[in-house]
Amino acid sequence: MPQPILAQLTVTHVEPLGGIDAQAAFFLMRLTLPPWDGWKPGQFIMLRPAGGDAGRLWGRPFSICRADDANLCVFFQARGRATMAMAEFATGTILDAWGPLGNALAVEDDTPTLLLAGGVGIAPFVGYVHAHPRPENLIMEFGHRMPLPCYPFEGIRTKISANAHREKEAGDREGFLHLLDDRIRQFSAEGLVLACGPTPFLEAVQTFSLRYKARTQLCLETRMACGIGACLGCVVKAALPPKARPDRKMPEKYAPPGSAARAEYHHVQTCICGPNFWADTVSLR
């Protein structure tokens, strides 16, 4: 995996997607390219205004949407304090950025791969479909609430077979869940499933994946302070590969019920062990 670096990046453009209808809640932000060794789709970057952020101490994690020779691109939804401020960034704003962070989404050139995206969860798939050596093996089902132009969907549709499903009223959700169920079942035998979106969406994907024994990766979003494994604020319960498990030979007398010495699932940092986890190794609750 490429080594992360810390760099100061300049905002070159912040573009609202979808226009007035969507009250400009979705944005593509272009930044100068960090002088890094590269990145892999599914990895993320921490961003924070250089020199401080109005009393906010943490950077914010964003999937690396795309990067070309000159620009790094992030797709975000203005939904809270930091992202609302980001929507207002002028060209020339300097950000502290550290990344690329976390693991990558699985790429299996010859495996039929189903991409499931919910809302802003589409972000990592933009880079994924562009970097994939055999895009003809990719299919996307995209669930969204706001009008389609709010999302970087067109660019994906030009590369792979992609279908969008808008949730306008309560019943639409039911239909989308049925579709997920169906699709995951179809891909369970020989395929690969990758999913990114809000937690209820990931929970549904996980349920179907476990039901049909589909090989599925879930891209998790948790609140993060550091992004580099130091604060332990972003943990999820996951089953670790044996060599990464804490030592089990600890004296039992010190191991309270539920402690690492006894538990099978462990709290692991989403930022360094994820954000992409195999669906059968992670607990979302």
Partner 1 sequence: METLRVTLTGRDFFLNLKNPVLTASGTFGYGLEFMPYGDLQILGGIVVKGLSLVPREGNPMPRIAETPCGMLNSIGLQNCGVEAFLRDKLPLLPADALPVIANLYATSTGEFGELATVLAAERAIAALEVNISCPNVNEGGSFFGQDPRMAAAVTAAVKKNAGAKPVIVKLSPNVTDICEIARACEAGGADMLSCINTLSGMAVDLAGRRPLLAMITGGLSGPAIKPVALRCVWQVSRAVGIPVIGIGGAQCAEDVLEFILAGASAVQIGTANFSRPDAAFRIVRELPAVLEKYNVTSWDSFRGSLQTA
Ligand X SMILES: Cc1cc2nc3c(=O)[nH]c(=O)nc-3n(C[C@H](O)[C@H](O)[C@H](O)COP(=O)(O)OP(=O)(O)OC[C@H]3O[C@@H](n4cnc5c(N)ncnc54)[C@H](O)[C@@H]3O)c2cc1C
* Residues forming the site for ligand X (CB under 6 A): 44, 60-63, 75-77, 79-83, 120, 123, 221-224, 275
Smallest gap from Cβ 233 to ligand X, in A, equals 10
Give CA torsion, residues 266, 270, 275, 278, to 10 deg: 10
**What's the closest the beta carbon of residue 14 comes to partner 1, in angstroms?**
22
Q: How far apart are CA 169 and CA 146, in angstroms?
A: 12
Choose between 56 and 185: whose C-beta lies nearer to ligand X: 56
Which pair of structure tokens corresponds to residue 59? 């950077």
SS3 247: coil
Of the pair 71, 222, the CB lying nearest ligand FES is at 222
Residue among 8, 7, 6, 26 at smallest CA distance from 16: 26
Q: Provide the β-strand partners of residue 114.
A: 139, 193
The DSSP letter of residue 222 is -
Q: Is residue 284 near partner 1 by the rule CB under 8 A?
A: no
Shortest spacing between CB 230 and partner 1, in angstroms: 4
Q: Which partner from the list ligand X, partner 1, ligand FES, none does 263 bind, CB cut-off 5 to 8 Å by kind? A: partner 1
Residue whose token pair is 């024994």: 213
Binding site for partner 1 (CB under 8 A): 3-6, 48, 55-59, 96, 98, 222-223, 225-226, 228-236, 246-247, 250-251, 254-255, 258-261, 263, 266-267, 272
